[in-house]
Amino acid sequence: MATKKNRFSEETNIVHGIDNSHISTQDLVAPIHMTSTFKFNDFDQGAGVFDGSRQGYVYTRIANPTVDLLQEKMALLEGGEAAIATASGMAAIAAVTMTLAGPGDNFVACNSVYGGTFALFKDHLRKFNISPRFVSPVKTNTIDRVASLMDADTRFLFIETPANPTLSIINIELWATLADQHRIPLVVDNTFASPYLQKPLDMGAHLVIHSATKYLGGHGDIIAGMVIGDGAMIQRIRTEYMDHFGPAVSPFNAWLILRGLKTLAIRMDRHSSTALKVAMWLENHPKVSQVYYPGLGSHPDHLLAQKQMKQFSGILGFELKGGRAAARTLLNRVELCTLAVSLGDCDTLIQHPASMTHSTYSEADLRAAGIDQGLVRLSLGLEHPDDIMDDLETALAAIDD
């Protein structure tokens, strides 16, 4: 893949990374092109618009200059040839899966994924006769199990790493090698890490997905998604899905993501260092039986995480000895940590996967994915870590022994 590279360091590309001189005068910051359509000078310029033969911009569902800048920047940061911005992370996942697979096809996915992804795979793709085959990342010999589930109709492999909400780490290189052997793409949801901490394409993955709602936007004020990969595959997703199913991102949201991206490196540094502090503290807390954070030496995939990631990001899970009742007390008592789904914001967010983000899982699905009723997920924000721990300490103290 001829990836976009330049002579600058990652941190510099996160701030700069795109050239907007062709669409602006002397703007330091890329302008927002809030327009639905673009004027034609005459009939001939407008003719042939929808067969792709017209050069330049036509209609914002198809292409928009602000959205193009975001796509260019994300291709650079992930090390891909091209990118697509979508209306949400789920739109990105739907675009990829519905382009790669059709009636009669199947795919293999980890069963520890975002609850919306799980519902799309398990319930909705079935309507199109596309079948998921799930594997558990917490079992040993996962890769042999993946291989045993593949056949001539397997169209792609799908993983999240770190995985939502168990924080399991999946071996990208192993899965990519298996995908290569079968000449199918490995799709990696890189939402939990961000391109600053992990680059799946460099490890052999073929497509990367993001919920840009999370760390890329970084401020909890937009919903958007991204797909990054090789040029031909991105073009296929564009023409076979995006253009006519239509989940385009708003130029305003694309602009907010471009703005958010400028601070990605420093935010991820801070999210990661706070998460490690809080994880170490929780590990010694008497009300907590287990902490899941890939940065901890006690995490079963710590060495793999060290290999795949620059730092370990800002999300952790912890198991309360008191189970669901204890989780209810904790979540009702926190004050600084906000009880809300989502992650990757400046604000620390706390939630209960089994009844919130992963309520799309049945009891059996939860058990198979290792999501227990006592599991709480914490997305560490940019507040002072001592204030976060104080808040958690007060709320944990309210749990009955």
Ligand X SMILES: Cc1ncc(COP(=O)(O)O)c(C=O)c1O
Binding-site ranges for ligand X (CB under 6 A): 88-90, 114, 116-117, 160, 164, 189, 191-192, 211, 213, 223, 225
In terms of CB distance, is 114 or 196 closer to ligand X?
114
Cβ neighbours around 141 below 10 Å, total = 10
189 is catalytic: yes
Query: Which of the 8 DSSP states describes residue 82?
Result: E
145 is catalytic: no
To the nearest whole angstrom, how small is the minimum distance from the Cβ of residue 376 to ligand X? 16
> CA 150, CA 178: separation in Å to the nearest integer?
10
> CA 26, CA 280: separation in Å to the nearest integer?
48
Longest dimension (CA), the chain: 77
Judge residue 43's burial from the number of C-beta atoms within 10 Å of its C-beta, 0-12 exposed, 13-18 middle, 19 or more buried. Answer: exposed
Residues 6+ apart with CB under 8 A from 67: 60, 85, 248, 249, 251, 254
Q: Which amino acid is residue 320, in one-letter code?
A: L
Selected catalytic residue, list 68, 105, 189, 301: 189
Reading the block at residue 386, the tokens are 């001592």
Contact 41, 34 (CB under 8 A): no
57 is catalytic: no
To the nearest whole angstrom, how small is the minimum distance from the Cβ of residue 110 to ligand X? 11
To the nearest whole angstrom, how small is the minimum distance from the Cβ of residue 241 to ligand X? 16
To the nearest whole angstrom, how small is the minimum distance from the Cβ of residue 8 to ligand X? 28
Contact 107, 158 (CB under 8 A): yes
Helices (H), 248-362: 251-261, 264-283, 302-308, 323-333
Residue with the CB atom nearest ligand X in the bound state: 89
In terms of CB distance, is 249 or 291 closer to ligand X?
249
196 is catalytic: no
Cα–Cα nearest to 250, from 75, 32, 99, 77:
32
To the nearest whole angstrom, how small is the minimum distance from the Cβ of residue 162 to ligand X? 9
Identify any residues that bridge with 187 across adjacent strands, giving them in sequence order. 158, 207
- The number of helix segments (H) and strand segments (E) in the chain equals 15, 12
Selected catalytic residue, list 57, 59, 61, 324: 61
To the nearest whole angstrom, how small is the minimum distance from the Cβ of residue 343 to ligand X? 6
Strand pairing report for 338-339 and 315-320: unpaired
Q: Which residues are catalytic?
A: 61, 114, 189, 214
